[in-house]
Amino acid sequence: MRTLYIFLIFSVFYFDSFSQVSGYLGKRSYLLFDITPTTATFASTPSGKTNYINLSMIPESEIDYSIFAMNFKPEVSFSYLIRNDIALGVSGAYNITSTYIENEFQSSYKEYGIIKGIGAGIYVQIFSGPKESNIAPMGRYITLGVDLIMSDLYSNVDDATKLNSKKILSPILTYEFGKQILLNDWLLLKYGASINVNIGLLAEVASMSYETNDGYTLEDANQSSVQLGIQLYQMVNFHLALGTIAF
Amino acid sequence: MNFLNKLLLTNFLLLLVSFDSNSQSIEKLEAKGAIPSDLLELPSLTYQKELESISESDSRKVRKEKENFYFNSNFILFDYLTSGKVLFNDPVTNYLNEILTNLLKENHPELLNEIRLYAVKSPVPNAFTTNNGMIFFNIGLLEKLNNEAEIAFILAHEVIHYKNKHVIDGYLESKEIEKGSGDYKKLTVKDQFLTKAKYSRERELEADELGFDIFLNSDYNISDPQNVYDILLTADQITSKTEYDINSLSSSTFVLTDEYFPDEKDLKVFEVSENYEDKEATHPNIKKRKERILSKIENSNIPDQENLYIVGEEKFKQVKMLSHKELVRQYLLNHQYTEAIFKADEFGKLYRDIDSVASQKMFVKALYGLAINHEEMRIQSDLFSIDYQRLYKTLRNIETIDLGLLAISHLIDYEEKYGRDEEIRLLIEDILKNMVYNHTLIKNYITGKSKLIDSKVKLTVGRIHSTEYGEEILEDVKDYIAFMELSTKQKNELYKNNKYKVKNSLIINPFYAKLKGRNKKKLDFEASEDFLVSLSGYIDEAAEPLDFKATVIDVYNLDKNDLEKFNDQALINEWLNEKLNNEEWFGISPIYSEVQPLREKYNTDYFTWIGTLDFKGRMDSPSYGGIVLTALYSVPMSAILLVEKIRPHSKTFYFSITFDLKSGKIVNEDAVYLDLKCNEPLIKSKIHNTFFKLKYGK
């Protein structure tokens, strides 16, 4: 009879879990270390080539180039559940975007471009599902956040000389979705994808429309390029994070 | 000393009838002593042991089938053994074992070490044997038998089923038939069914014949047990050894008149032929079985004995009495109220001197059950005795409202006769609540809005009023009416403000099952067992941070000395099954008074049943429309979404139901699908969530 009843409620009913305690066994906060190993597949040239950041002043139309780019953004985040299904969090990230350009006229010549930066952000993580319920911090989530990334530009990885004189600031809006699961009592795994919109770049593009050529320096060009790079490289990121339940 | 001898020794020490200072009553039938290893050993282990018995000489196909059989049978059997229905070391099981010992000690003493015999609290008149040597003997069959020799006769038959490996052979043969291999090529489905039935009948005849050989060598009378076949012929009928007087349904103030009784012409004597068509039956017809046995008797040189009893007639009578009482109890739990009334009446007449109160209490409980579950009365044929037919049809003829009044009237009669009883008070109140729920006229009468009411209602309410607690009941019912008349919004508000706050709860046999297969119909027994063994620990861990006291009793974590816990979980199992049997009205359990001591024992008024199903299913989102729209933008992305939608995802279904053990009502429930793989943290988290809601009344 009991088994029959289970299968009956299993087949016919479900009641939503209206009220659930925040956190895992009462622990509301968790730390995550997120590697964002995203190849920059979404940058493109006018000729349709991908994986490109234009760090030079060579007009794009005159070269046929581009091969490699990689975006690596280790990020640490701390989240605290303020409700059974909502967490607020802060994150800190170190960002490296690396690329090189191979010139077809001078095939031995590779021009490297490295963007290094640090960033910080705040976000709200909402655990939600259409029918299926979550039990935060486990389950499907969406995250809405704002990141501010300060970047510098280098000609290669080991070079300590910045190509720019002032920090390049990139405020980015992020929308992330994915799933978090607990592997045991403390080990948290997160995987998902995010879409990021660089509002700094939008402002840059807007201001560039009104600028004259006289005021447009190499540094400005580099900065624009970096902004573009960050925007494009970070437009879609895939996330894989491991973390722990804290307190 | 082997297990059986220990049982026999224990038997001498057990008193079958206990007396308290105030009244005589027959003790309850429940397991006693050390829990047998059959109920403690996990099925995965017994399965491993049975695997060793598979012979290397068997073909690969047969080995595979045997593995399947051992695997499924061990897990299913463990569930059955721990369901609470199976008794051990109790007077009935002990008595059956004594008979078995007498039967086998001369001829097959080696089988005494292999066979384990258990009485089962089931009203179905049946006995059956498992491949690994367990014989289960239902009290429903025992109650029908006339003497000890008949029991021995049946046991001898079951022994042969075990000795000659009928169960596994039957399984292998039916697999052969299904697959159409060997002699069974090109059989239609119908032919397969008939062939299986024929094979089964042959095995039954073999068990009859060879079983009778064992029986012949015992000191029992060999002629009388043929009556067993007559009993089997009418096994489905509810019979009584005493006459049932339909007028006993009337109470002191509610006299049933002729209008309620069926026309005598409509009551038909049901005659059963011994020589019925048995082509589709698993057992041969009674005529064939009787003839075989008669020819064995005729050909036998063994002189017949007079003995209908060897272990003892007194013991037989006591065991019959215990079984009879338990049978009525089981009928009440199964909501078979007509059967309960009929057999309670017989019990009262047969054992009036020993237990004067029991039959009356069982009778009023059955009437209460009928009053609140009248619609449940199943349509039955005229298969039964005339007395039973008359009772059944009368109960059907009485309108539900009158049945309620009749039940209340009998409940008050009972109390006037035997003194105040809290359980009776609850039953009266519950019937009255049920009546005001269903009948506006009675509701208006109780609240004073209307004075126009049937005189029977007036009389009954007046009688309630005149009882010691009449005012109390009527006030409670008025409160209930006031609640009924609230709007849904007001009710929700009231619920919100008056949430139960539960700080401790009894948790019995938390449930977990891993489902496999496309239709989620197969159980992954092994994975389920692993999880179940750990589940009690998870519950403790989930309760600890909240300081919630969860007392877990779990058959997967008992040892042989945990008899009390075993019996408590058996009792709650029965209580829960009865609750789940209710369709609309969650009434007072027929075993209310048996369960109440648990509240004090475990210091909680609540019982929580927790369960989880672990399975793979498809995602509900994204929708197919969404995927098509995505394809307009990005075909690869829509392909990924499509795969995500189609591929099976790990899912978890979790539920918890908390009951108030006193009122029997549900105080909290939760049932939810989780789009997550079922693992330890997830379950702990959900259980923690359940306890949180209970503790803070969320």
Of A1, A2, A182, the CB nearest to B681: A182
**B675: chain A residues, CB-CB within 8 Å:** 129, 132-134, 139-140
Note whether B672 contacts A16, CB cutoff 8 Å: yes
Q: What is the pLDDT of residue A50?
A: 41
Residue of chain B whose alpha carbon sits nearest to that of A24: B685
CB B131 within 8 A of CB B115: no
Residue A48: which residues within 8 A CB-CB, separation 6 or more? none
**A9: chain B residues, CB-CB within 8 Å:** 655, 671
CA of A5 to nearest chain B CA: how many angstroms apart?
A: 7
Confirm or reject contact between A16 and chain B (CB < 8 A): yes
Whole-prediction pTM: 0.84
Ranges A46-50, A142-146, B44-48, B340-344: which has the least confidence: A46-50
Ranges B189-193, B206-210, B505-509: which has the least confidence: B189-193
Q: Which residue has the higher pLDDT, B335 or A220?
A: B335
Which DSSP string do the residues of B396-416 spell out, in sequence order?
HHS-HHHHHHHHHHHHHHHHH
Q: Using CA atoms, how far apart are residues B66 and B53, in angstroms rounded to an integer?
A: 10
Q: Using CA atoms, how far apart are residues B433 and B477, in angstroms rounded to an integer?
A: 6
CB B361 within 8 A of CB B345: no
Residue of chain A whose alpha carbon sits nearest to that of B576: A2
Note whether B675 contacts A134, CB cutoff 8 Å: yes
Q: If we measure between CA atoms, which residue out of B345, B301, B161, B145 comes closest to residue B226?
A: B145
Note whether A185 contacts B698, CB cutoff 8 Å: no
Average pLDDT value for residue range B324-330: 96
Q: What is the pLDDT of residue B583?
A: 67
CA of A132 to nearest chain B CA: how many angstroms apart?
A: 5
Categorize the per-residue pLDDT at B155 as very low, low, confident or very high, splitting at 50, 70 and 90: very high
Residue of chain A whose alpha carbon sits nearest to that of B544: A25
Q: Which residue has the higher pLDDT, B332 or B494?
A: B332
Confirm or reject contact between A11 and chain B (CB < 8 A): no
Q: Which residue has the higher pLDDT, B604 or B675?
A: B604
Residue B91: which residues within 8 A CB-CB, separation 6 or more? B11, B14, B16, B29, B315, B318, B319, B322
| The pLDDT of residue B537 is above 80 | yes
Q: In the structure encoding, which two tokens stand for residue A60, read together? A: 């794009």
| The pLDDT of residue A12 is above 50 | no
Note whether B669 contacts A25, CB cutoff 8 Å: no
| Secondary structure (3-state) at B515 | strand
Q: What is the pLDDT of residue B488?
A: 86
b/e sequence B141-151, b meaning 16+ C-beta within 10 Å: bbbbbbbbbbb
Q: Which residue has the higher pLDDT, B403 or B5?
A: B403
Structure confidence by residue, pLDDT tens digits, B538-566: 999 999 999 999 999 999 999 999 999 99
Q: Using CA atoms, how far apart are residues B319 and B231, in angstroms rounded to an integer?
A: 18
Q: Using CA atoms, how far apart are residues B637 and B530, in angstroms rounded to an integer?
A: 39
**A130: chain B residues, CB-CB within 8 Å:** 620-621
- Could you tell me the CA-to-CA distances from B512 to A9, A25, B178, B541, B659 in Å, in that order? 14, 20, 32, 17, 19
Considering B107-116, B379-388, B609-618, the range whose residues carry the highest mean pLDDT is B107-116
Helices and strands counted in chain A (H then E): 3, 10
Note whether A138 contacts B546, CB cutoff 8 Å: no
**B669: chain A residues, CB-CB within 8 Å:** 15
Q: In the structure encoding, which two tokens stand for residue B589, read together? A: 């359990």
Q: What is the pLDDT of residue B649?
A: 79
- Look up the CATH number of domain A22-245: 2.40.160.20
Confirm or reject contact between A22 and chain B (CB < 8 A): no
Average pLDDT value for residue range B613-632: 76
Fill in the DSSP letter of residue A240.
Answer: E
B-interface mutation test, from A2, A24, A41, most B Cβ less than 10 A away = A2
Of A9, A25, A139, the CB nearest to B655: A9
Q: Using CA atoms, how far apart are residues A166 and A152, in angstroms rounded to an integer?
A: 8
Using alpha carbons only, give the angle A237, A241, A244 rounded to the nearest 5 degrees.
Answer: 155
Q: If we measure between CA atoms, which residue out of B511, B527, B531, B525 comes closest to residue B655?
A: B511
| Secondary structure (3-state) at A190 | strand
Note whether A1 contacts B581, CB cutoff 8 Å: yes
Which residue has 């049975």 as its token pair? B50
Confirm or reject contact between B675 and chain A (CB < 8 A): yes
Structure confidence by residue, pLDDT tens digits, B121-138: 999 999 999 999 999 999
Outline where chain A has alpha helix (H): 2-12, 199-208, 218-233
Note whether A132 contacts B675, CB cutoff 8 Å: yes
| The pLDDT of residue B143 is above 60 | yes
In terms of Cβ atoms closer than 10 Å to its own Cβ (0-12, 13-18, 19+), residue A157 is exposed
Categorize the per-residue pLDDT at A214 as very low, low, confident or very high, splitting at 50, 70 and 90: low
Q: Using CA atoms, how far apart are residues B43 and B523, in angstroms rounded to an integer?
A: 14
CA of B671 to nearest chain A CA: how many angstroms apart?
A: 5
Q: Which residue has the higher pLDDT, A195 or A188?
A: A188
Note whether B688 contacts A18, CB cutoff 8 Å: no
| The pLDDT of residue B12 is above 50 | no
Confirm or reject contact between B676 and chain A (CB < 8 A): yes
Categorize the per-residue pLDDT at B41 as very low, low, confident or very high, splitting at 50, 70 and 90: very high
Note whether A13 contacts B651, CB cutoff 8 Å: no
Q: Using CA atoms, how far apart are residues A90 and A30, in angstroms rounded to an integer?
A: 11
Q: Using CA atoms, how far apart are residues B340 and B318, in angstroms rounded to an integer?
A: 20
In terms of Cβ atoms closer than 10 Å to its own Cβ (0-12, 13-18, 19+), residue A220 is middle
Which residue has 């049937």 as its token pair? B454
Structure confidence by residue, pLDDT tens digits, B169-207: 889 888 888 877 777 777 777 888 888 888 888 888 899
| The pLDDT of residue A86 is above 80 | yes
A-interface mutation test, from B689, B691, B695, most A Cβ less than 10 A away = B689
| The pLDDT of residue A108 is above 70 | no
Residue of chain B whose alpha carbon sits nearest to that of A140: B675
Q: What is the pLDDT of residue B402?
A: 93
| The pLDDT of residue B276 is above 70 | yes
Confirm or reject contact between B86 and chain A (CB < 8 A): no
Q: If we measure between CA atoms, which residue out of B70, B80, B76 comes closest to residue B50?
A: B70
Q: What is the pLDDT of residue B490?
A: 85
| The pLDDT of residue A103 is above 80 | no
CB B572 within 8 A of CB B554: no
CB A176 within 8 A of CB A124: no
Q: What is the pLDDT of residue A227?
A: 57
Residue count of chain B: 698
Q: Which H, E and C letters describe B43-61, residue by residue?
A: HHHHHHHHHCCCCCCCCHH
Average pLDDT value for residue range B228-245: 88
**B515: chain A residues, CB-CB within 8 Å:** none
Considering A58-67, A235-244, B566-575, the range whose residues carry the highest mean pLDDT is B566-575
Categorize the per-residue pLDDT at A37 as very low, low, confident or very high, splitting at 50, 70 and 90: low
Q: Partners of B626 in the beta sheet?
A: none
CB B407 within 8 A of CB B372: no
Ranges A139-143, B430-434, B583-587: which has the least confidence: B583-587
Average pLDDT value for residue range B502-519: 86
Residue of chain B whose alpha carbon sits nearest to that of A8: B580
CA of B498 to nearest chain A CA: how many angstroms apart?
A: 16
Residue B362: which residues within 8 A CB-CB, separation 6 or more? B325, B328, B329, B332, B340, B344, B347
Q: Using CA atoms, how far apart are residues A59 and A24, in angstroms rounded to an integer?
A: 55
CB atoms within 10 A of CB B370: 23
Q: Which residue has the higher pLDDT, B663 or B380?
A: B663
Average pLDDT value for residue range B309-325: 95
| The pLDDT of residue B97 is above 50 | yes
Q: What is the pLDDT of residue B226?
A: 79
Q: Are strands A187-198 and A236-245 parallel, antiparallel or unpaired?
A: antiparallel
Q: What is the pLDDT of residue B353?
A: 84
Q: Which H, E and C letters describe B145-202, residue by residue?
A: CCCHHHHHHHHHHHHHHHHCCHHHHHHHHHHHHHHCCHHHCCCCHHHHHHHHHHHHHH
Ranges B28-37, B185-194, B238-247, B636-645: which has the least confidence: B636-645
Angle between helices B358-372 and B337-350 (to 10 degrees): 170
Q: In the structure encoding, which two tokens stand for residue A196, read together? A: 């990021």
Q: What is the pLDDT of residue A112?
A: 58
CA of B337 to nearest chain A CA: how many angstroms apart?
A: 18
Ranges B199-203, B280-284, B597-601, B637-641: which has the least confidence: B637-641
**B673: chain A residues, CB-CB within 8 Å:** 14, 131-133
A-interface mutation test, from B676, B686, B694, most A Cβ less than 10 A away = B676
Residue of chain B whose alpha carbon sits nearest to that of A84: B689
Categorize the per-residue pLDDT at A231 as very low, low, confident or very high, splitting at 50, 70 and 90: low
CB B81 within 8 A of CB B119: no
Q: Using CA atoms, how far apart are residues B389 and B266, in angstroms rounded to an integer?
A: 9
Within 51-70 of A, beta carbons closer than 8 Å to B belong to none
- Could you tell me the CA-to-CA distances from B348 to B55, B198, B345 in Å, in that order? 55, 43, 5
The per-residue pLDDT of chain A, averaged, comes to 71
Which residue has 């995602």 as its token pair? B619
**B693: chain A residues, CB-CB within 8 Å:** 19-21
Confirm or reject contact between A181 and chain B (CB < 8 A): yes
Q: What is the pLDDT of residue A53?
A: 43
| Secondary structure (3-state) at A7 | helix
Question: In this structure, which amino acid lies at residue B414?
Answer: Y
What residue spans define the domains of chain A?
Answer: 22-245
Within 636-665 of B, beta carbons closer than 8 Å to A belong to 651, 653, 655
Q: If we measure between CA atoms, which residue out of A142, A192, A197 comes closest to residue A170?
A: A197
| The pLDDT of residue B220 is above 80 | yes
Q: What is the pLDDT of residue B606?
A: 95
> Is the predicted ipTM greater than 0.95, yes or no?
no
